[in-house]
């Protein structure tokens, strides 16, 4: 008995989907940090870097910040909301407990010049680039 091979149009689509998934995994693992808590925005201007972090419900005393070389860490603890007696969550999306987020910075910062302000649940940290990390112009002499 002779059988005909009929190619499936879905086989090509499945192969292409597998290739796209492989490319997405490779791209995401090498170019992006996974999102974490707290959510942050980071931008640079001249020789400083600004980090904003959403930390609603915390007090400034409950937030720990540290800088080491080109890494910046935000950590602390958020208390779990106490429910009334006989109550149960229908949905619980707010993060509670200990947290820590370490971010690699694009340059080394001067830990003595870090400024942090906490207002309306948003932490704003300004980090100044260390003098030793700034590019220095070298003059060329003519002899």
Report yes or no: 102 and 72 within 8 Å, Cβ to Cβ.
Answer: yes
Tell me how far apart the alpha carbons of residues 112 and 117 are, in angstroms, rounded to a whole number: 15
Q: Give me the number of domains the chain comprises.
A: 1
Q: Provide the 8-state DSSP code for 1.
A: -
Tokens of 112: 């003595």
pLDDT in tens, the chain (143 residues): 566 666 666 777 788 888 888 777 665 544 444 567 888 999 998 889 999 999 988 889 989 999 998 899 999 988 888 889 999 888 877 778 889 999 999 999 999 999 999 999 999 999 999 888 778 788 999 98
Residue 22 CB contacts under 8 Å (≥ 6 apart), including other chains: none
pLDDT at 27: 59
Q: Which CATH number covers residue 121?
A: 2.60.40.790
Q: How far is residue 4 from each of residues 1, 13, 14, 143, measured CA to CA in Å? A: 10, 21, 22, 84
* Domain presence at residue 26: no
Please check whether residue 116 lies inside any domain of the structure: yes
Residue 38: closest CA among 82, 96, 105: 96
């Amino acid at each position: 008995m002779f059988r005909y091979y009929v190619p499936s149009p879905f086989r090509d689509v499945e192969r292409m989907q597998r290739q796209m998934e492989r490319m997405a995994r490779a791209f995401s693992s090498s170019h992006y940090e996974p999102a974490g808590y707290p959510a942050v925005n980071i931008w640079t201007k001249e020789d400083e870097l600004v980090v904003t972090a959403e930390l609603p419900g915390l007090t400034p005393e409950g937030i720990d910040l540290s800088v080491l070389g080109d890494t910046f860490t935000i950590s602390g603890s958020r208390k779990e909301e106490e429910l009334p007696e006989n109550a149960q969550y229908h949905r619980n999306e707010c993060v509670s407990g200990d947290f820590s987020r370490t971010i690699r910075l694009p340059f080394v910062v001067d830990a003595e010049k870090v400024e942090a302000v906490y207002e309306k649940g948003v932490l704003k940290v300004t980090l100044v680039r260390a003098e030793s990390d700034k590019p220095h112009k070298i003059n060329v002499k003519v002899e």
